[in-house]
Amino acid sequence: MIYTIDIGPNLFQLLQLYFVVRYLVPALVGGTLLVVAVFFLRYLLRQPDLDWRDLNMWKFAAVGAALGFVLACAVLAP
């Protein structure tokens, strides 16, 4: 038997998937982390006498993830 591979529509779907994974997913994740970081900074600036030990760890994790994403984009950008 001879097997043939039809790459017409499959190639188009693959390119669409590449576009979504390469551009849209990082944009959505980065935008979400940026919003979280902005709200975190607004929270910090509203309380000048804030002790760092009073903050929840998820806020530090959110800011760290945002900075890590920005650094990863700067390193991996073509």
77 vs 23: which has the higher pLDDT: 23
The answer, yes or no, to whether residue 78 has pLDDT greater than 60, is no
Contact between 38 and 12 (Cβ < 8 Å): no
> Tens digits of per-residue pLDDT, 46-71?
766 655 555 666 677 777 777 777 77
Main-chain dihedrals φ then ψ at residue 2, nearest 5 degrees:
-110, 125
Please give the pLDDT value at position 69: 76
Residues in the chain: 78
Work out the angle between the directed axes of helices 25-46 and 57-76 (0-180°, nearest 10): 140
> Please, what is the Cα angle at 44 between 61 and 63, to 5 degrees?
20
